Structure 1
Amino acid sequence: MNVALLGTAGVFLALALTTLIWAVAGRAVGRRHTVLVATWLCMALGATLVIFSFFPTSSAEGTVFGWSLGGAGAFVLLIWTGALRAARQAEPRDAKDMEIRRQDEQIARLTERLTMLGADCGPRIVPGRRKIDYRLTGNSRRRFGIIVGDIRLVTDVDVWVSSENTDMEMSRFYERSLSAIFRYGGARRDEAGHVIDDCVDAELSAKVAGRRPVVPGTAISTTSGELSRSNKVKYLIHVAAVSGEPGHGYRQVGNIALCAKNALAEAEGLPDVASVVLPLFGAGAAGADIQATVRAVSAVVAEHLERATARIRTVYLLAYTDAELAACSAVLNGMPELRPPSR
C-alpha cells in the first residue's frame, strides 16, 4: 500500500465533498455546473489514487496530444481531459442559471413596486359626508344624487337599502359592509355597546322563514330599529343582490337592474316615505364592476323618478370610496335626464 498516494486521495476526496456542499448552496447560482465538474474531477482523482495505492501493478495506457502515458498518469490525464470537456459544456448552463436568477430578482422588485403602487392607488374611503344633488330636467322637484362618505352620518333619508345574499342572512356585526352597519346600528345595545336585541336581523329572519334562498333581486322591508332614533331612518329594505358559492365567496347576481327596480317598488309601498339611498349592489366585497353597476342602477332610478305617480321624490346612490364617487359622477354627469348640480 502506497501511503503517499492514499493521503493524496484523501485530500482530493475532501475537496470533492467541500465543493459539493458549496455547489448546492444558493450563492453558487451561475457557477454551480462548473463547480460540480470540479467536484466530479476530485472524486474521480481520489478514487483513482485509492486504487493505485492498494493495487500498484494496475495499469492504463493512452495517447494524449502525441504523448504516450501509462500507469496512474494515464488515469489522471484521462479524467482531467474529460473534466475540461465537461466544464466547457457546463459554462452555458451556468450562464442560463445566472440569467434566470437576475430575471427572478427583477420580477421580485417589480412585484414589490406594483404592490406599493396598488396600495397607494387603490380606492380610498371618502371622509365625512356630503351630498351631490342632480335634478330631473323634466321635473325639478325630483332629485337624483350621490351621498358621499359614511352612511352613519346620514340623518335625512327615509329609507336605507342594504345589499344582502340570496339567503337573506345579514352580515355579522363587525364585518365591513352596509348590511353589518344596518344590523348593528338597528340593534338595541347596552351602555357598553353590547347587543342585547338583534331586532333587525330577527325581523328579517322571521319574514323569510321557510323561504330561503329567495329569488335574486327579491326586496324585503323591515323596520329600522334603533336607526330610527339615531339617524331618523324609517325603514330598511333588504335586497338579494349577491349569491354565494363554496370556495368562491359572494358574487353579484345577474340582473342588478332588477335589484334597484324591486327596491324602489318596495319603497313605494311604505307609508310616509319620500327619499331612498341605494347601495352599489354587489360592487363592494363581491367585487363587481363599479361603473357597470352604477349605469344599470341609474337607468332604473331615472325611469322611476320620471313617473308622475311615483311617491319617492329623491333617490341617492351611496359612494363610500373615491372610486365609487368617480364612477357615480361620470355616469350621472352623462345622463340627459339630469341637470348637473350648480357650482
Structure 2
Amino acid sequence: MALLLPEYSSLVPELKEVRRAGLVRLRGRALPALESAADAVTVVVTRPPGTSIEGLLRLAVSRLDAGTLRTAAEYTLGLAQGTRDWPASDRRTRAAEVYGVSVERFRKDHEVMVLEQVAEQILRLAADPGAEPGGAVPDGEGGGTHRTMLVRARERPVTLTLHVHPVDLLRDVDVVVSPSNVHFALPEPYKSSVAASLRRAAARRGVTGDVMEDPVHDELRAWAAGHDVAGRAVLPGTVVATGAGALAERGVRRIYHAAVAVPRAGTNDYDVLPSDVTRAVSRALALLAEEHDRFDPPLRSVCFPLLGSGRGGLTHEVSLAAVWAAVEAELARGAGWDVHFMVRSPEAAALVERIPAGMRPANDRRAAGRPG
C-alpha cells in the first residue's frame, strides 16, 4: 500500500513546532506530516517517536545550499552540533547572526524562508526517496556532522576526528588553527571566513548583543607591536597564539593564527603556497608542544581547517595534502595529540575520509575543484 505523502501546508507549521520545542522534546508530540514524510523516506520505521523525524530533518537540511541558508537551518532546528538542547530563543539569536540581521527581522522574514526551504526538501525526499544515495536517514546526535576515523601515520595507528560544520560550532577542542594573511590583519567579523567566524565567536558581548571586547583582534595587534612588525608582513608559515575570548566558555582555549596568505599587489586576492601551509602546520604543532604544560589541564587537542582553500585559491585536495603532510609526520614520531579536521562541505569531508586509504601526492591526481 502506497504511503500518503504530506502536504506542504502541513509541514511548515510542524517545522515551526520543532523549532519551538527543540529536538530533545520531540518525543510524544503529534507531528503527523513529518512522521508521514519520515516513513516515506526511511526503510525502517519502527524507531522511537522523534528519532526518525530528527533523521529526516538532518537529511533535508543537508540538501540545502551550503552557506548561510544551511547554517541558519541547522541553528534554527537545533541540528548544529551542541545546540540540540539550546532554548529556542538562543537558537534564533544565533541564526539571526548568520544573516547579520536583528532577531526580530529574522523572526518575521528569514526564519519563515528557512523553514519553507526545509519543507520543500522534505517534500522532494518523500516523493523520491531514492534521490538521496543509499535512501537512508542518518540517526544520532552527530547526524554526519562529526565522526572519528582510524588511520595509519606511517604505519602507526592513530585516531582523527572530522567535523563537518562551521568552525564556531566547535566544542571542547583546546586549540583551533585559524588561517591568516602575513600581516595578521583579521577580516571584519561579519564575513564568513574561518578567521572572521572565530573573531566573531570570541568577542565578548553585552546584554544587548553589542560587542564590548574584541580580544582576538586586540591580542594580535599587541603581538605585532611587541615584535615590531606592525604594518609589515611576516614570513609565510609564521604562527601566533592568542587566547580564545568567549570561546573559552565552549572549551576552546587557544587560537593559533597561521600566516599562509600573501596579498597580491593591486588586487583583493591572495596567493598561498602548499609548502607554506605545511610549514605553518608544523609550526602550530611545535607551538602546541611548547604550550602544552602551561595550562591546567595541559593542552592536548588541535583542530585544522583546510588552510588556504578559501580566498587563498587552493583546492580542498591540495590543501588537505599540505596539512596532512605535517600532521602525519608529527603523529608518526609518536606525538599523542588529539587531531581534528574541520570542513564545511560534504565534498571536502569525503576527501578527508580518504586519508585512511592512504593519500597520494595531490599533484598526481586531478584537482578536486576550487571551493566556492
Pair in the same fold by TM > 0.5: yes
- Seen in structure 2, the aligned counterparts of structure 1 residues 131 and 254 have a Cα distance that, compared at 3 Å, is closer
Note if contact 1:123-1:322 (Cα within 8 Å) is conserved in structure 2.
no
Q: Where does residue 171 of structure 2 map in the other structure?
A: 155
Offset, 1:281: 0.8
Checking the alignment, whether the CA contact within 8 Å between 1:252 and 1:281 is kept in structure 2 is no
DSSP-derived class of the 1:288 partner: coil
Aligned residue for 1:232? 251
Whether 2:294 is the aligned partner of 1:275: answer no
Note the 1:171-250 alignment, pairs <5 A: 171-209=187-225, 210-211=228-229, 212-229=232-249, 231-245=250-264, 246-250=266-270
Structure 1 gaps of 5+ residues are 1-119, 337-343
Q: TM-score, normalised by structure 1?
A: 0.57
The superposition leaves residues 130-159 of structure 1 with CA deviations (integer Å, 9 ceiling, x where unpaired) of: 32222344555x422321112222212110
> 1:333 corresponds to which residue?
357
Q: How far apart are the structure 1 equivalents of 2:166 and 2:268?
A: 28
Residues 294, 328 of structure 1: 8 Å contact kept: yes
Kept in 1, the 8 Å contact 2:151–2:355? The answer is: no
**Cα distance, 1:299 vs structure 2:** 2.0
SS of the residue aligned with 1:268? helix
Q: 1:175 to 1:244 in 2, by over 3 A?
A: same
Q: Secondary structure at the match of 1:269?
A: helix
Q: Which secondary structure state, in structure 2, belongs to the residue aligned with residue 315 of structure 1?
A: strand
User: 2:328: which partner in 1?
Assistant: 302
Question: Which residue identity is paired with 1:274?
Answer: R
What do residues 48-86 of structure 1 show as CA deviations (whole Å, max 9, x unaligned)?
xxxxxxxxxxxxxxxxxxxxxxxxxxxxxxxxxxxxxxx
Q: How far apart, in 2, do the equivalents of 1:122 and 1:327 lie?
A: 19
Q: CA RMSD in A?
A: 2.4
Give the superposition deviation at 1:179: 0.7
Q: What's the offset of the Cα at 1:192?
A: 2.1
Give the C-alpha shift of residue 171 in structure 1.
1.3
Is 1:135 the counterpart of 2:161? The answer is no
Q: Distance in 1 between matches of 2:216 and 2:268?
A: 28
Residue identity matched to 1:224: A
Runs of 4+ in structure 1 over 4 Å off? 120-127, 136-140
Between Structure 1 and Structure 2, whose CA radius of gyration is higher? 1
Q: Which amino acid aligns with 1:266?
A: L
Pair 161,247 (structure 1): closer, same or farther in 2 beyond 3 Å: same
Q: 2-side partners of 1:143 and 1:171: how far apart?
A: 33
Q: What letter corresponds to residue 215 of structure 1 in structure 2?
A: L
Equivalents in 1 of 2:218, 2:238: separation in Å? 18
Measure the CA separation in 2 of the matches of 1:191 and 1:251: 40
- Structure 1 pair 284–122 and aligned structure 2 pair: CA distance change class (3 A): farther
1: CA distance, partners of 2:358 / 2:156: 18
**For residues 279 and 207 of structure 1, what CA distance do their matches in structure 2 show?**
23
Give me the whole-angstrom Cα distance separating, in 1, the residues matched to 2:332 and 2:289: 14
Q: Distance in 1 between matches of 2:348 and 2:207?
A: 35
Unaligned segments of structure 2, at least 5 residues: 1-62, 75-79, 82-144, 293-297, 361-372
